C-alpha cells in the first residue's frame, strides 16, 4: 500500500521517534494520519500499519476498537461533530444537534446523500467556555446558534459547488 509522499515522510519520521524496539508506539499516529488522507481505516490499511510497526493486525484492530476517532467505514467529506455534553447542553447544545439533524436530514452518525456531511453527536470536546461548540473536521466553531450553523453548512456547500464547477 502506498501513500502520498508527504504521508510517507511523516511515517518515516514516526518510526524513528520512539526508543528502539518500540515502533508499536507509532500505531495510533499512523492510523490517524492515514485516516486523514484516506477518510477511513480500511482492512488494507490495518494490515499495512501492522506490517510497518511490527505488530499483528489483530493488535491494530484492538486499537481501532478502543479509539472512537478511528473509523472502520468511509464517511462524508466534512465530519460535523456537535457537543451535547453538560456545558453545551445547558446553553442549547441539544437543540443545536436536533437543528443540525434537521438541516442535514440525517441523524447521529448519518451521512448526507451527496456525501458531503456526516453528523455526529459527541461528548465534551474541551470548549466548554465557548459553548455550545461544534467541530467540523479539525476546525472549532464556538457559541454556535442554529442560524450560524446553517450559514456554515451553506458556505461549505457553496464552496463545494464552486470546486465542482472548476
Q: Among residues 13, 43, 73, 151, which is the contact residue for another protein, using CB under 8 A?
A: 43
Smallest separation, CB 55 to another protein (Å): 8
Assess 22 for contact with another protein (CB under 8 A).
no
Assess 42 for contact with another protein (CB under 8 A).
no
CA distance 86 to 92: 10
Please answer whether residues 88 and 122 qualify as being in contact, where contact means their C-beta atoms are separated by less than 8 angstroms.
Answer: no
Tally of CA atoms within 13 A in the half-sphere of 13 that contains its CB: 8
Assess 59 for contact with another protein (CB under 8 A).
yes
Q: Phi and psi at residue 165, in whole multiples of 5°?
A: -60, -45
* Helix, strand, coil percentages, rounded to 5, for the chain: 55, 10, 35
Smallest separation, CB 113 to another protein (Å): 29
Assess 20 for contact with another protein (CB under 8 A).
no
Q: Of the two residues 17 and 56, which places its CB atom closer to another protein in the complex?
A: 56
Q: Among residues 22, 65, 74, 155, which is the contact residue for another protein, using CB under 8 A?
A: 65
User: Edge-to-edge strand order for the sheet containing 134-136?
Assistant: 117-122, 78-83, 134-136, 139-141
CA distance 37 to 58: 22
Q: Of the two residues 60 and 144, which places its CB atom closer to another protein in the complex?
A: 60
Q: Of the two residues 15 and 55, which places its CB atom closer to another protein in the complex?
A: 55
- Residues in contact with another protein by CB under 8 A are 43, 56-59, 61-62, 65-66
Amino acid at each position: 500500500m502506498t501513500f502520498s509522499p508527504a504521508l510517507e515522510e511523516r511515517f518515516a519520521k514516526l518510526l524513528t521517534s520512539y526508543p528502539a524496539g518500540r515502533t508499536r508506539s507509532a500505531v495510533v499516529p499512523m492510523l490517524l494520519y492515514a485516516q486523514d488522507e484516506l477518510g477511513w481505516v480500511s482492512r488494507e490499511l490495518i494490515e499495512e500499519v501492522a506490517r510497518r510497526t511490527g505488530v499483528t493486525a489483530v493488535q491494530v484492530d484492538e486499537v481501532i476498537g478502543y479509539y472512537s476517532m478511528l473509523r472502520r467505514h468511509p464517511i462524508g467529506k466534512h465530519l460535523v461533530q456537535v457537543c451535547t455534553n453538560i456545558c453545551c447542553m445547558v446553553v442549547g447544545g441539544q437543540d443545536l444537534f436536533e437543528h443540525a439533524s434537521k438541516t442535514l436530514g440525517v441523524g447521529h452518525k448519518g451521512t448526507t446523500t451527496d456525501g458531503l456531511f456526516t453528523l455526529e453527536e459527541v461528548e465534551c470536546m474541551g470548549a466548554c467556555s465557548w459553548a455550545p461548540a461544534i467541530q467540523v473536521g479539525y476546525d472549532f466553531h464556538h457559541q454556535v446558534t442554529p442560524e450560524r450553523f446553517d450559514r456554515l453548512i451553506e458556505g461549505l456547500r457553496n464552496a463545494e459547488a464552486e470546486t465542482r464547477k472548476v
